Amino acid sequence: DTGVSQDPRHKITKRGQNVTFRCDPISEHNRLYWYRQTLGQGPEFLTYFQNEAQLEKSRLLSDRFSAERPKGSFSTLEIQRTEQGDSAMYLCASSLAQTGVNEQFFGPGTRLTVL
Amino acid sequence: QKEVEQDPGPLSVPEGAIVSLNCTYSNSAFQYFMWYRQYSRKGPELLMYTYSSGNKEDGRFTAQVDKSSKYISLFIRDSQPSDSATYLCAMKKTGGSNYKLTFGKGTLLTVNP
């Protein structure tokens, strides 16, 4: 399978704990995106990388959230001191950097539950 | 007011029905209009997209964009039980922020055999 993969698929944690998610994009894609989707809502943009550079962070991404993409390959999203409001599906997507529709391919997501 | 509004449904139709899904938006800078399909516990997958105004057809699916009304639609003909999913409209701008998708809430569709 050469699509976007995410790990873990599910994570249950207690409030106050730190969690880290991993995303492996499609190998030739140089753009990588993180979105958050809560129940009954569409995905909301969190952040975006072109190669290893993080070029935008949404206001939704508080200082408890940090994302990295070392060497422009896989990416990690870490949430420190988790809160119940962080419970959501965290989606990763990747694309080529090109003009036009620049289709984003989504992974299956990591579902986070904070107790 | 959100930039993209979409009726979340749910929408339940019999097999073979024509389904109409709609979104409205407020930001005239949006130029690409997309429809994603999301099955339960999966990531969204792109169904089709339209640039600017007009219609686009792909098999049983037709996407329409009316920029003057800031209104987009997706029609599904001869709906099948396998079409049961959440349908998300998404939009993006051109130029400097052409990487960010803005989604509607999604409409949950069930096609009953």
pLDDT digits (tens, 9 = 90+) for B11-52: 999 999 999 999 999 999 999 999 999 999 899 999 999 988
Has residue A1 got a pLDDT over 60?
A: no
HSE toward the beta carbon, residue A96, CA cutoff 13 A:
6
Amino acid, single-letter form, for residue B70: K
To probe the interface with B, which of A45, A89, A111, A113 has the most B CB atoms within 10 Å?
A: A45
A56 contacts B99? CB cut-off 8 A: yes
Per the CB < 8 A criterion, the answer to whether B12 and B113 are in contact is no
Q: What is the mean pLDDT of residues B106-111?
A: 96
Residue A101: pLDDT band by 50, 70, 90 thresholds? confident
Q: φ and ψ at B83, to 5 degrees? A: -80, -10
B105 contacts A41? CB cut-off 8 A: yes
Length of chain B: 113
To probe the interface with A, which of B98, B99, B103, B105 has the most A CB atoms within 10 Å?
A: B99
Burial of B72 (0-12, 13-18, 19+ CB in 10 A): buried
Q: What percent of chain A has pLDDT over 90?
A: 82
